[in-house]
């Protein structure tokens, strides 16, 4: 690991990309109920043959699943990195600050209680709900002042999350009694991924990822503090509005596909900061790659843990992420 | 209002809520039908005696004990944000109970409170190891919540990998009185013996409120008192959690409301907190049951909807 840290940035990116590709390839054929061999997984993509069942499985079920898992991971991780710069709070992430719970509440509200709001669409509802929850957290947590109030912001986020989660569960239980589906969705899962979902997901997600990469120089200025950033010519108001919108779109679109996967946005940015330091221009692309790799790997594990049943991928990531959250709380709050 | 008149009023409110809790549900019963339901010959005997009466009793007992343990913790740590569920004790207890149920399904349910007690004690000990005795209010609360997140993600994982009956799962994730009966009442009764001990400690807790130095010079041993009170509180929380799951925010909100009503003297505060806790849980369970019968919401959802905004308000006022 130490030697890896001393590689040039470009080489680090290439190595991590290769790791991501390796995970993705493994995910195509391992722990499959219908046996698929490693070479078949490659051949299905290179030279698909209609007569072989394994090729159909890889192309129609596995490939969209891997792609969606990767993109969801990238979106959530980048959203977490942006939030950490925006609030200058190392604990900030979509799940901790209530964006996840708010987005979930928005989706539940549109799909159960108020179908007359149907013209909103699920993703719009998720974005709106996340925006409202995050706004409340920022106002109550006195976030814009920055400084040492890291803990207060997180506590406000936890309370708003608890409220949103309770309201959402109430709505869903009242509307339908398929509580097990709800539990699975709450934990986050990419098991039902299809090409149809992918077509709706990738244009929005990749556009907002691109937007995030373009904003990264300005995010660096925010890290310097309000006064310094202003004197270096950053327009604070606009930067915050645009970055917040990017975060909301990233989280909202990822959640409407995969459910509430937590802790990615907290975990991954810190991993890439440990590798490349505090420069957001380097952090954001690396974060995207590592987020994708982590979710793809966790998704493969989620099939392995109780083979042949599927465990939601979010439950596995939470098991990795929660101890890390405790560690961060111990070391980064006053 | 004088404390006597106030407590009479609160007591009356509990009685009214008990009557309502017996009367409303999938079938609404009149007062006469409820009274006749206590005799085995009545057609409502099953509904009243087997279903609603134990459940109502449990709401009263659990609500009171949760509120009492919250009041004890807040009194002895002098931290307005503290309560068993914010400190992760209830989730730790819940995790131990879930582990016992899923990994050792053949063990008798009567071990559940003891397993929960071990879990709760471990959670409290772990938090104390992490934070020491001199942490700021916010740091203690946030570490507790982080621990609670860890416990509940393990519970989530166990639930999702070993699907139990789904109502059971919701019970362990949010807290509910669904399907509880006389067995559970019998399980919680022995733990009531901790309540007089808590009252006996009330005077010392008043002195603890004055600060460590003053209390020590008045002859109270701070470490012993603190340990004793926390142990009692963890015990009561564990007993409640092993029966109803981690009902959120109840142990936080009820003592605060009681303090606003009668002030900080523990001889009056503790009984008042108990009655307020009973009222809150009865109300939460009643609303959760009657909002759209026969579908039931977990009572823990109701207390969270009520308690989370209150927590935010407290957070705003905490310096």
pLDDT by residue (tens digit) across B173-202?
A: 778 888 788 888 888 888 899 999 999 998
Q: What is the average per-residue pLDDT within A64-92?
A: 91
Do the domain assignments include residue B153? yes
- Chosen CATH of A2-332 out of 1.10.510.10, 1.10.3470.10, 3.30.360.10, 3.30.230.10: 1.10.3470.10
Q: How many CA atoms lie within 13 A of A170 on its CB side?
A: 20
Angle formed by the axes of helices A179-187 and A150-175, nearest 10°: 150
Give me the phi and psi of B292, to 5 degrees please: -155, 70
Q: How many CA atoms lie within 13 A of A328 on its CB side?
A: 24
| Shortest distance, CA A281 to any CA of chain B (angstroms) | 30
Which pLDDT score, from 0 to 100, does residue B280 have?
Answer: 93
Cβ atoms A261, A72 nearer than 8 A: yes
| C-alpha R_g of chain A | 20
Closest CA to B98 of B149, B32, B163, B41: B163
As to burial, measured by CB atoms within 10 angstroms (0-12 exposed, 13-18 middle, 19+ buried), residue A4 is exposed
CB atoms within 10 A of CB A238: 10
- The interface residues of chain A toward chain B in range 134-153, judged by CB-CB distance below 8 A, are 140, 151-152
Counting residues of chain B whose pLDDT is more than 70, the rounded percentage is 96
Cβ atoms A258, A68 nearer than 8 A: yes
| Per-domain residue ranges of chain A | 2-332
Cβ atoms A218, A238 nearer than 8 A: no
Residue A146 has pLDDT above 60, yes or no: no
Do the domain assignments include residue B149? yes
Counting residues of chain B whose pLDDT is more than 90, the rounded percentage is 22
Give me the phi and psi of B295, to 5 degrees please: -70, 140
Positive/negative CA dihedral, B79, B81, B85, B87: negative
Residue B42 has pLDDT above 90, yes or no: no
Q: Is the peptide bond before B14 cis (omega within 30 degrees of 0)?
A: no
Do the domain assignments include residue B198? yes
In angstroms, how far is CA B104 from the centroid of its own chain? 26
Residue A144 has pLDDT above 60, yes or no: no
B141, A174: Cβ pair inside 8 Å? no
Do the domain assignments include residue B9? no
Name the more confident of A121 and B74.
Answer: B74
- Joined together, the tokens standing for residue B288 give 């959760």
Cβ atoms B82, B148 nearer than 8 A: no
Which pLDDT score, from 0 to 100, does residue B107 have?
Answer: 80
Which pLDDT score, from 0 to 100, does residue A311 have?
Answer: 81
Which pLDDT score, from 0 to 100, does residue B62 have?
Answer: 93
Contacts of A165 in chain B (CB under 8 A): 304
| C-alpha R_g of chain B | 19
A158, B145: Cβ pair inside 8 Å? yes
Do the domain assignments include residue B8? no
Q: By residue range, what is the domain housing residue B244?
A: 56-317
Interface test with A, best of B160, B245, B298, B306 (most A CBs within 10 A): B160
Choose the weakest-confidence range: A235-239, A264-268, B137-141, B204-208. Answer: B137-141
Residue A264 has pLDDT above 80, yes or no: yes
- Joined together, the tokens standing for residue A157 give 């986020």
- The interface residues of chain A toward chain B in range 59-98, judged by CB-CB distance below 8 A, are none
Do the domain assignments include residue B242? yes
How far is residue B233's CA from residue B270's CA, in Å, rounded to a whole number? 12
How far is residue B315's CA from residue A254's CA, in Å, rounded to a whole number? 31
Which pLDDT score, from 0 to 100, does residue B31 have?
Answer: 80
Which pLDDT score, from 0 to 100, does residue B157 have?
Answer: 84
Q: What is the average per-residue pLDDT within A24-45?
A: 82
- Joined together, the tokens standing for residue B250 give 């109840």
Q: What is the average per-residue pLDDT within A314-318?
A: 87
Do the domain assignments include residue B283? yes
Count how many domains chain B has.
1
Which pLDDT score, from 0 to 100, does residue A116 have?
Answer: 64
Interface pTM, i.e. ipTM: 0.85
Residue A148 has pLDDT above 70, yes or no: no
How far is residue B90's CA from residue B74's CA, in Å, rounded to a whole number? 15
- The interface residues of chain B toward chain A in range 127-186, judged by CB-CB distance below 8 A, are 130, 136, 138-139, 141-143, 145-147, 149-150, 153-154, 156-157, 159-161, 163, 166-167, 169-170, 173-174
Which pLDDT score, from 0 to 100, does residue A142 have?
Answer: 65
Cβ atoms A31, A298 nearer than 8 A: no
Name the more confident of B224 and A151.
Answer: B224
CATH number for B251: 1.10.3470.10
Choose the weakest-confidence range: B12-26, B32-46, B207-221. Answer: B32-46
Do the domain assignments include residue B267? yes
Cβ atoms B304, B289 nearer than 8 A: no
Work out the pLDDT band at A214, boundaries 50, 70, 90.
very high
pLDDT by residue (tens digit) across B44-83?
A: 787 788 888 898 999 999 999 999 999 999 888 877 788 8
């Amino acid at each position: 690991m130490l030697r890896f840290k001393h590689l040039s940035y470009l080489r680090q990116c290439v190595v991590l990309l290769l790791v991501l590709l390796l995970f993705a390839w493994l995910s195509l054929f391992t722990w499959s109920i219908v046996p698929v061999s490693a070479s078949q997984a490659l051949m299905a993509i290179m030279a698909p043959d209609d007569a072989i069942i394994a090729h159909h499985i890889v192309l129609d079920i596995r490939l969209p699943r891997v792609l969606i898992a990767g993109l969801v991971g990238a979106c959530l991780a980048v959203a977490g990195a942006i939030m950490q710069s925006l609030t200058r709070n190392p604990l900030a992430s979509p799940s901790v600050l209530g964006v996840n719970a708010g987005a979930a509440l928005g989706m539940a509200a549109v799909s159960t209680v108020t179908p007359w709001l149907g013209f909103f669409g699920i993703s719009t509802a998720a974005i709106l709900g996340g925006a409202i929850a995050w706004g409340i957290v920022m106002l109550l947590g006195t976030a814009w002042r920055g400084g040492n109030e890291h803990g207060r912001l997180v506590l406000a986020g936890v309370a708003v999350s608890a409220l949103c989660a309770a309201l959402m569960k109430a709505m869903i239980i009242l509307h339908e009694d398929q509580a097990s589906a709800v539990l699975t969705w709450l934990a986050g899962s990419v098991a039902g991924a299809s090409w149809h979902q992918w077509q709706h997901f990738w244009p929005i997600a990749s556009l907002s990822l691109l937007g995030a990469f373009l904003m990264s120089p300005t995010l660096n200025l925010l890290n310097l503090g309000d006064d310094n950033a202003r004197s270096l010519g950053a327009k604070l108001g606009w930067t915050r509005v645009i970055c917040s919108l990017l975060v909301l779109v990233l989280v909202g679109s990822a959640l409407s596909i995969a459910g509430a996967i937590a802790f990615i946005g907290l975990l991954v940015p810190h991993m890439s900061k440990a590798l490349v330091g505090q420069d957001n221009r380097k952090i954001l692309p690396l974060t995207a790659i590592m987020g994708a790799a982590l979710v793809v790997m966790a998704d493969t594990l989620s099939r392995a843990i109780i083979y042949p049943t599927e465990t939601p991928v979010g439950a596995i990531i939470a098991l990795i992420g929660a101890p890390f959250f405790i560690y961060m709380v111990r070391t980064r709050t006053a | 209002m004088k404390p006597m008149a106030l407590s009479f009023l609160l007591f009356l409110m509990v009685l009214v809520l008990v009557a309502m809790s017996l009367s409303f549900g999938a079938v609404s019963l009149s007062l006469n039908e409820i009274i006749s339901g206590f005799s085995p010959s009545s057609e409502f005997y099953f509904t009243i005696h087997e279903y609603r009466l134990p459940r109502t009793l449990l709401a009263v007992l659990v609500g009171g004990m949760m509120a009492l343990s919250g009041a004890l913790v807040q009194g002895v740590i002098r931290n307005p944000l503290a309560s068993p569920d914010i400190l992760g004790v209830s989730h730790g207890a819940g995790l131990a109970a879930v582990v016992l149920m899923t990994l050792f399904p053949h063990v008798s349910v009567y071990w559940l409170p003891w397993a929960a007690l071990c879990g709760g004690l471990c959670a409290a000990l772990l938090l104390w190891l992490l934070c020491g005795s001199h942490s700021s209010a916010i740091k203690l609360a946030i570490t507790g919540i982080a621990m609670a997140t860890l416990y509940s993600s393990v519970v989530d994982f166990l639930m999702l990998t070993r699907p139990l009956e789904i109502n059971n799962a919701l019970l362990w994730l949010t807290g509910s009185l669904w399907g509880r009966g006389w067995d559970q009442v019998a399980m919680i009764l022995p733990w009531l013996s901790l309540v007089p001990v808590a009252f006996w400690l009330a005077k010392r807790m008043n002195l603890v409120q004055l600060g460590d130095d003053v209390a020590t010079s008045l002859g109270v041993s701070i470490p012993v008192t603190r340990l004793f009170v926390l142990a009692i509180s963890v015990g009561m929380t564990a007993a409640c959690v092993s029966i109803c799951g981690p009902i959120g925010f109840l142990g936080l909100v009820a003592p605060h409301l009681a303090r606003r009503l009668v002030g900080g003297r523990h001889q009056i505060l503790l009984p008042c907190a108990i009655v307020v806790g009973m009222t809150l849980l009865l109300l939460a369970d009643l609303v959760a049951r009657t909002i759209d019968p026969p579908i039931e919401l977990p009572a823990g959802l109701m207390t969270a909807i009520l308690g989370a905004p209150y927590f935010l308000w407290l957070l705003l006022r905490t310096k």
